[in-house]
Every structure is written in structure tokens, then in C-alpha cells.
Amino acid sequence: MRLLAGAMLVSGALWGTAACGGECAQAFDKELECMEDGERKTTMASARDIAIEMCKTKSEDPEVKAAIACGKKATCEEVKACKKEARAQKDIKKISDMVASGEVSKAAQRCSYDLETYKAVGGLKTACDAAFDAAFGKLDDKKVRDDLTYRCGRAKDAADWRDASESMKKGCNGLMAAAKSTITKQRDAGTKYEYSECSGYKALVKALAPKEAAAAELLCAEAKAAEDLTKAAAEVSANLKANKLRIPYRCERFMKMGDKKLKGSKWHTAKSKELAASCYGGDLGKKVLGKVTTYCLSDAKSVHKYAAQYKLGAADAELAALLTKTQPTCTK
């Protein structure tokens, strides 16, 4: 609602909704009355005649028609409330149009700028809740998901919005659950670790469920380690194929994570046992032990270390024999 903002260099002036003649003057004067003293008010006053004439030429403009009602209000508080309602009605249409055209992220963003008006105007609340519901229904769209993650967890007024809107509160909790599920699946599949996904998830947990912060940190650490787990297993196969008798460094790195970042992780405990069998108890470990003569290099010592820890020789006679044969050299 801006009347001749360029002519008056005044933004947000609602007086210009006056239809024509005396109503334009009435609307202008009421707007001027309700402005705080200052340079903007002086500038607006000096443009009175020009602005009123321009108002008369826009008598059919929806904004002009809407603002005349505000110019007729008795008090400045009533004018302010009227202007807020008029702006809200304009926003309601834009928001509804955005949702209808599938621009749900833009609709949610437009809603998120003015919490006061959202709470004051029922129609805007209805339109925005519909926009929020539509946006939270498109979490497969990364841009939408990123925007909502910010709105739910990082925006300064995120908590106020969740308190005011049941749609936002429900959607944010659903977004957090979806993020946890996505990261858990990524961890279990051992696919590429996505820093942004975990960063957003931890921000959501901090805002919505702070008591779960430690568990979220652990899950993300597991997801990051899972990439090492996958690569370690692949490198074991590649080394065997190339007859490269070296234990991949990722094997040892993953095993040691249980002492620090993944301390207390049941997932790491289970995966360490699986990886130990692959890195140290399988064909590669046997070949590493098979080339031990006078000296025992670090790879062979690692085989002994983890074979003992996970009892790898118990079900493999060949490995057990190699461990026994190299024990004097590798464990002295």
C-alpha cells in the first residue's frame, strides 16, 4: 500500500487509496497526521498537491480503493490496523496464487516475514498455514527442504512461529524426523556423507529437541564414518586384485573411531567386527602374514592386534596357523 512513493519519497503511505477529490485530501492528511515528525513527513507534506492530483487519476486502483477506508478512520491506531488488514488481503491472494502454481517455498517465505500480521488477520493465517502444509509436503525438493530447515531451526523468530502456527510446529517436527531418517539410511548404506544434511539436522534438534543433541551428534559421526567403512571394504578388494599386500589405512582409522568420536556407538561396535573380518581376517590379512619373515611390519602387527581382539582365528584354521607361526616375530 504505497501512494506515489516515487513522487513523495515516502514508502508505505496508505493515504493514497482515497478515491478522488476530498477523499484523496482526507486520506493524505490522515496519513500525514499519523506519521512521526521527521524528514520523511516534511517531504510528504511538500508534495501534497501533486500527490492528491495523482490520487484522483487512480480512483479505480484496488490499493486506492482499499486505503480510502483507512483514511476515514478516527484514530491512528485504527489507521494502522486498517493498513495491516489491507496489506494482508493483498498478500493472501499472492500467497494462494503461489501455492496454486507450485511455488510453495516462495509462499512460505512470504508468510514468514510478518508474524504480528499473521496472528492478527485470520484470513492470512489460513492462507499461510496452507502454504506451510504445502511446503512441508515437498521435502523431496532440496531447495524447499533447505528453506524450511532454516525457518524451523535457524531463523531468529523460529520458536515464535512454531508457537503461533500448529502447521509450522507439526511441519518442523516432521522435517526433523525426516532428516534423521535420511541420515540413518545414508549411514546404513555407507553412501557419501552430506555435511549440509547433518548440519541442518543438528540445528533442528538443537531448536526442537535439545535433549537429543548428543544422539544427533553421534548419528552424524556414524554417517561420516560410514563412508570410510565403504571405502575401506572396496580398497581391501582392490588391493587383493592388484596383489598389493597392504592393509588400507581406512581400516585402522575406522577401528580407532570407537575410542573417540564413536565412543558408545552400538553401530560402530557391530561394523568394527564386520570390518575386522574383512581387513584383517580375510585373504588380505592372511597374505600379509604370509610374507612375514625376520621382521614384522605394522600391517602384520595390526592383523595380530585385531585378530586377537575379535577372535578371528577361531573359525579359520588357515588364519589361526598363520597367527601362531608369526606370533613370535609380531608380538614380541
Max Cα–Cα distance, the chain, nearest Å:
108
Name which residue leads in pLDDT, 321 or 79: 321
Do the Cβ atoms of 91 and 84 come closer than 8 Å?
no
For the stretch 18-23, contacts whose Cβ atoms lie closer than 8 Å and that sit 24 or more positions apart, written own/partner, are: 18/55, 18/64, 18/67, 18/68, 18/71, 19/55, 19/59, 19/64, 19/65, 19/68, 20/55, 20/56, 20/59, 21/56, 23/68, 23/71, 23/72
- The fraction of the chain above a pLDDT of 90, given in percent, is 64
Q: What values do phi and psi take at 140, rounded to 5?
A: -75, -15
The model's pTM: 0.77
The helix/strand/coil state of 47 is coil
Res 75 pLDDT > 60: yes
| Element of type H or E holding 316 | none
pLDDT at 19 over 50: no
Picking from 215, 218, 220, 288, the residue whose alpha carbon sits closest to that of residue 251 is 288
> What local confidence, expressed as pLDDT, does residue 35 receive?
81
